[in-house]
Amino acid sequence: MSRGITLDYRYALPIVSEEELFSLEPFVEEVHRMIHHQTTYQPYLGWVDLPYTYDKEEFERIKYIAKKIQQDSDALIVIGIGGSYLGAKAALESLHHHFYNQLPPSRRKGPEIYFAGQHMSESYVKDLFDLLEGKDISVNVISKSGTTTEPAIAFRLFRTYMEKKYGKKEAAKRIYATTDRLKGALKALADEEGYETFVVPDNIGGRYSVLTPVGLLPIAVSGLDIDEMMKGAKAARTDLLHPRLHQNNAYQYAALRHLLYEKGKKIEMLVHYEPRLQSFSEWWKQLFGESEGKNGKGLFPASAKFSTDLHSIGQYIQEGPRHLFETVLHIQEIKEDIVVDKTATNTDGLDYLAGKSLSFINEKSFEGAVKAHQDGGVPNLVLHIPQLNEYFFGYLVYFFEKACAASSLLLGVHPFNQPGVEAYKQNMFSLLGKNNGN
Ligand SMILES: O=P(O)(O)OC[C@H]1O[C@](O)(CO)[C@@H](O)[C@@H]1O
């Protein structure tokens, strides 16, 4: 089995040619230089060497605290928004049992895990408190700035809930804050209350932070192997270090999506055939959306789950405006555990599938859709991923981070800021009367 992931661009070739792709070589080499050897973006590039340079002492502390939470909590509440929770949610859903939280504790290594602070829905918080009745809980509050409204509100509510339930002293022992090393409201509060803290490195932005304590603590609490995850990221770091387009899959993916954009494709749809990849798509959407949507430019990152969505938006993809392309996350491992059985009467007409596994049929659905969409003028890029496990999760995260930085630079935008998000935040602050003496 391959140790990395491969990119198959055969199904995009009628729209972009290999000649066009490799004509981007000099631009890609320049982009490579900007990522690896230039100082302009240096303050944001901590993720590039992270698989080697991560803080080993803190990494061991993550594992130690994860064990403590596994022992003293029935549930962990992860509070954060955007890059501060999407990576952890993506890992948990991609790599665990589909019904993780519903499994009996004896079948899980970690506690139940819930997320809060991603919106201001009152009914959600009420139902979550309701669900947690009678359970022992811990909270991991994650905010680099410490001032983002949604998680800040959720944390205030949970702090009060925990202090009522456990008393201030015991509550403080069950709250873990992942935040800036030195500054911000959450850091100040954590110091004041004596919470155990983990650091979001200065030079890594929220959407690039899955493989820092931001993602790693909740991932480790759930019982996943974070050493394997870092090993996968390390392999990707090595595989994707080459400056030449021919030898670098992440740069090829970046260059292809750039070419497709130039040829009028305005939407990239990330497609998967495994419901467990839904949150991964959400992480991917933030990564590319916040990085590229600037100066009136950028592909719109969308996602679809197949075969489900082939029966809803499949029609639009096949015959609607030709302004989109698909990137397929194709899991190569075929499991043969569940097989269609043979019936005596074949009344449902399905005997032609008897003896075939669901994975095999799913694979045919992938082959059928890729071909149909290509024939319909929708280019497809396919990423072959050998297996869904910790190693390849780490690999894939790094692959997309590198590709995203390269793609943004090819487009001529700053890959690591998000000035547009501030506009909404400032409006809301003034509508709610922030800084009016409260
Ligand atoms: O960790 P913080 O500072 O709360 O920020 C959370 C998220 O908010 C954003 O700034 C956008 O709303 C994201 O970029 C970031 O991932």
Q: What would the pLDDT profile of 10-24 be if each residue is shown by its tens digit?
A: 999 989 999 999 999
ipTM over 0.90: yes
Active-site option among 282, 290, 292, 401: 290
The pLDDT assigned to 23 comes to: 97
Structure tokens at 138: 């811990």
Active-site option among 297, 335, 425, 434: 425
Cα 389 to ligand 1 centroid, rounded to whole Å: 27
Give yes or no for a contact between 143 and 179, defined as CB atoms under 8 angstroms apart. Answer: yes
Band of pLDDT at residue 428, cut at 50, 70 and 90: confident
Distance in angstroms (rounded) separating the CA atoms of residues 167 and 161: 10
Residue 45 has pLDDT above 50, yes or no: yes
Residue 437 has pLDDT above 80, yes or no: no
Give yes or no for a contact between 112 and 76, defined as CB atoms under 8 angstroms apart. Answer: yes
**In the chain, % of residues over pLDDT 90:** 92
Peptide bond into 357 cis (omega under 30): no
Per the DSSP assignment, residues forming a β-bridge with 270 are 303, 327
Give yes or no for a contact between 386 and 26, defined as CB atoms under 8 angstroms apart. Answer: no
pLDDT in tens, 50-61: 999 999 999 999
Ligand 1 nearest-atom number relative to CA 148: 4
Residue 1 has pLDDT above 50, yes or no: no
**In the chain, % of residues over pLDDT 70:** 99
In this structure, the residue with its CA closest to atom 13 of ligand 1 is 82
Band of pLDDT at residue 422, cut at 50, 70 and 90: confident
Backbone angles phi, psi at 175, to 5 degrees: -115, 130
pLDDT in tens, 206-218: 999 999 999 999 9
State the virtual CA torsion across 222, 227, 229, 234 in degrees, nearest 10. Answer: 160
Residues having CB closer than 6 A to ligand 1 are 81-84, 143-145, 148, 151, 206-207, 290, 418, 421
CB atoms within 10 A of CB 413: 18
Distance in angstroms (rounded) separating the CA atoms of residues 92 and 158: 22
Active site residue 265: no
Distance (Å) of CA 8 to CA 124, 125, 384, 402 = 41, 43, 7, 18
Write down the residue that tokens 């665990």 correspond to: 96
Write down the residue that tokens 């019936």 correspond to: 343
The pLDDT assigned to 438 comes to: 54
In this structure, the residue with its CA closest to atom 4 of ligand 1 is 143
Structure tokens at 87: 């990576």
Residue 68 has pLDDT above 50, yes or no: yes
Q: Which of 115, 119, 148, 294 to mutate to test the pocket of ligand 1 (most atoms within 8 A of CB)?
A: 148
Residue 257 has pLDDT above 50, yes or no: yes
For 207, residues 6+ apart whose C-beta sits below 8 A from its C-beta are 82, 83, 86, 283, 286, 287, 290, 291
Band of pLDDT at residue 365, cut at 50, 70 and 90: very high
The pLDDT assigned to 2 comes to: 52
The pLDDT assigned to 433 comes to: 84
Active site residue 126: no
Distance (Å) of CA 296 to CA 151, 221, 299, 323, 411 = 29, 41, 10, 17, 11
Q: In 182-277, which residue ranges form alpha helices assigned H by DSSP?
A: 185-193, 213-221, 226-239, 249-262
Of the listed ranges 34-48, 229-243, 293-307, the one predicted with least confidence: 34-48
DSSP letter at 226 equals H
Ligand 1 nearest-atom number relative to CA 142: 1
